[in-house]
């Protein structure tokens, strides 16, 4: 007999695993807080570099501190030559998330001084945040036949990421739109990829290993990639007039409509509220509100039929599409933002280290007799 054990919380739902100062989600009020600051204020008044500083250090930077961080991130954009050659040798048919996972792991070989767990890992946090756009740009440009990447020190982090992927200077509106998207995706408490990073860090493994774990976890379609599925749905629907028919048909077949509902939020995800407006603004700037109008109609039908609210994935894909970002780069762009949060959590884990080791409820037999191989059926 196996002794009785506590009730299993599938997916660890509602299990409080640790304490953290980094992020707070009020699912009933629809609030998202980074280190005490409401996401609405950060999205309207801040920038990604400032938010990264906040997540890493637990406070907003002074003007001099922000300038120093920006200069450091620009300095760290340059890929080691051998790393660039390695990316160029990867199959052009590889998925960008596979390339990103491999490159993050291999980058540790070029930066051994940053692989010692502890406070010095802040150097690795800054390097990974700075270089992820270069990794993505290096791979995408080769497969798309675009000119080689240059580091463009004149561009902000968000604008550099767009330049790396699109080979053009983004407009001021595009740069700000992506800056806001990066802020909104920078952290979200103990989501699957962040938890994976913290589990890895809790073994006293290095920051690069922890972020590799996070990238691999984000690759799974139940975590990253939902905004790609949203865009596929919009292209299937075609026109707002067909939204009702297509969505209700899918719901009748018990198919999931991506971009709706959330494990934590019981009301609308505040990130969706912000990105809805940016979808409209970017669409208007392009003279094309097709996707925005489709999304509004889909949102209306799903809420009426199922009572579900939008999450961050519903509108983010339309913002990226309007800027010309290929769909298979949506999740890597997510990673280029979330790396700030991943690394902040790893640094926090190193400060209060305790091996993360939950317990499983055993449901198998316990008294089977051993049968020699000759007597087995």
DSSP secondary structure, 238-255, as one string: -SHHHHHHHHHHHHHTT-
- 154 catalytic? Reply is no
E strand residue ranges, 27-79: 31-34, 37-38
- 327 catalytic? Reply is no
Q: Which of 38, 98, 169, 223 is catalytic?
A: 223
Query: What count of Cα atoms within 13 Å lies in the side-chain half-sphere of residue 152?
Result: 22
First to last CA, the chain: 26
CA distances from 291 to 169, 232, 297, 311 (A): 24, 11, 10, 16
Query: What count of Cα atoms within 13 Å lies in the side-chain half-sphere of residue 113?
Result: 3
- 223 catalytic? Reply is yes
Q: Are 228 and 222 in contact (CB under 8 A)?
A: no
Q: Which of 140, 185, 188, 262 is catalytic?
A: 262
Strands in 23-26's sheet, in edge-to-edge order, are: 23-26, 31-34, 37-38
3-state secondary structure 316-331: HHHHHHHHCCCHHHHH
Structure tokens at 39: 């996401």
Active site amino acids: 223, 262, 313
């Amino acid at each position: 007999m196996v002794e009785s054990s506590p009730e299993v919380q599938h997916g660890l739902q509602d299990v409080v695993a640790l304490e953290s100062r980094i992020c707070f989600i009020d699912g009933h009020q629809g609030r998202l807080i980074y280190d005490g600051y409401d996401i609405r204020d950060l999205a309207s008044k801040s920038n990604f570099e400032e938010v990264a500083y906040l997540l890493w250090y637990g406070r907003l930077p002074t003007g001099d501190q922000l300038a120093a961080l920006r200069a450091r991130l620009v300095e760290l954009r340059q890929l080691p030559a051998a790393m660039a050659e390695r990316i160029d040798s990867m199959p052009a048919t590889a998925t960008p998330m596979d390339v990103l996972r491999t490159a993050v792991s291999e980058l540790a070989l070029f930066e051994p001084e940053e692989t010692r767990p502890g406070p010095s890992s802040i150097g690795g946090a800054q390097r990974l945040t700075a270089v992820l756009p270069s990794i993505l740009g290096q791979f995408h440009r080769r497969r798309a036949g675009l000119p080689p990447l240059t580091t463009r020190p004149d561009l902000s982090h968000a604008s550099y990421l767009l330049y790396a992927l699109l080979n053009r200077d983004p407009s001021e509106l595009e740069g700000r739109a992506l800056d806001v998207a990066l802020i909104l995706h920078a952290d979200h408490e103990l989501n699957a990829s962040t938890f994976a990073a913290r589990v890895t860090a809790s073994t006293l493994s290095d920051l690069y290993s922890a972020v590799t774990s996070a990238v691999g976890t984000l690759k799974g379609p139940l975590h990253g990639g939902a905004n790609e599925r949203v865009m596929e749905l919009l292209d299937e629907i075609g026109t707002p007039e067909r939204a009702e028919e297509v969505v209700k048909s899918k719901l009748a077949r018990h198919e999931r409509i991506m971009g709706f509902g959330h494990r934590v939020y019981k009301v609308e995800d505040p990130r969706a509220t912000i990105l809805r407006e940016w979808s409209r603004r970017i669409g208007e700037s392009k003279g094309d509100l097709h996707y925005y109008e489709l999304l509004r109609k889909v949102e209306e039908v799903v809420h009426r039929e199922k009572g579900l609210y939008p999450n961050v994935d519903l509108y983010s894909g339309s913002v990226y599409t309007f800027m010309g970002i290929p769909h298979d780069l949506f999740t890597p762009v997510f990673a280029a933002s979330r790396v700030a949060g991943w690394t902040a959590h790893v640094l926090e884990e190193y400060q209060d280290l305790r091996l993360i080791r939950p317990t499983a409820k055993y449901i198998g037999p316990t008294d089977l007799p051993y049968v020699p191989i000759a007597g087995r059926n």
